[in-house]
């Protein structure tokens, strides 16, 4: 009985072992490529350029706000001058009408 068992067991074991070795194994993951110094430099220059553009935009915005405030002050002063001029003209007209009567 032992010979018949080993007669079937040995080929079955060898078949299992050989089929396990022959099976497709997943490929090992590829390592991430090393970033070259040139690539890092280009990317950092691009980011620096974005920062420079942002600074330029901020400066323009601040300058625009200053001009708007200055413009508002000039408008206020202009309106005051118009009111004063209208008052003087009205008083002059009333004085003239008084003289004509």
Q: Write down the mean pLDDT value for the chain.
A: 83
Residue 69: per-residue pLDDT? 97
Better-predicted residue by pLDDT, 69 or 11: 69
- Mind listing the pLDDT tens digit for each residue in 31-59? 777 778 787 788 888 888 888 999 999 99
3-state secondary structure labels for all residues of the chain: CHHHHHHHHHHHHHHHHHHHHHCCCCCCCCCCCCCCHHHHHHHHHHHHHHHHHHHHHHHHHHHHHHHHHHHHHHHHHHHHHHHHHHHHHHHHHHHHHHHHC
What are the residue ranges spanned by the domains of the chain?
56-101
Residue 19: per-residue pLDDT? 60
């Amino acid at each position: 009985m032992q010979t018949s068992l080993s007669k079937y067991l040995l080929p079955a074991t060898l078949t299992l072992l050989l089929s396990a070795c022959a099976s497709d194994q997943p490929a090992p993951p590829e390592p991430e490529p090393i970033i070259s110094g040139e690539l890092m430099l280009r990317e950092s220059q691009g980011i620096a350029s974005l920062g420079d553009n942002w600074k330029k935009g901020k400066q323009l915005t601040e300058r625009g706000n200053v001009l708007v405030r200055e413009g508002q002050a000039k408008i206020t002063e202009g309106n005051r001058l118009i009111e004063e001029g209208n008052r003087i003209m009205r008083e002059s007209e009333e004085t003239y009408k008084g003289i004509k009567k």
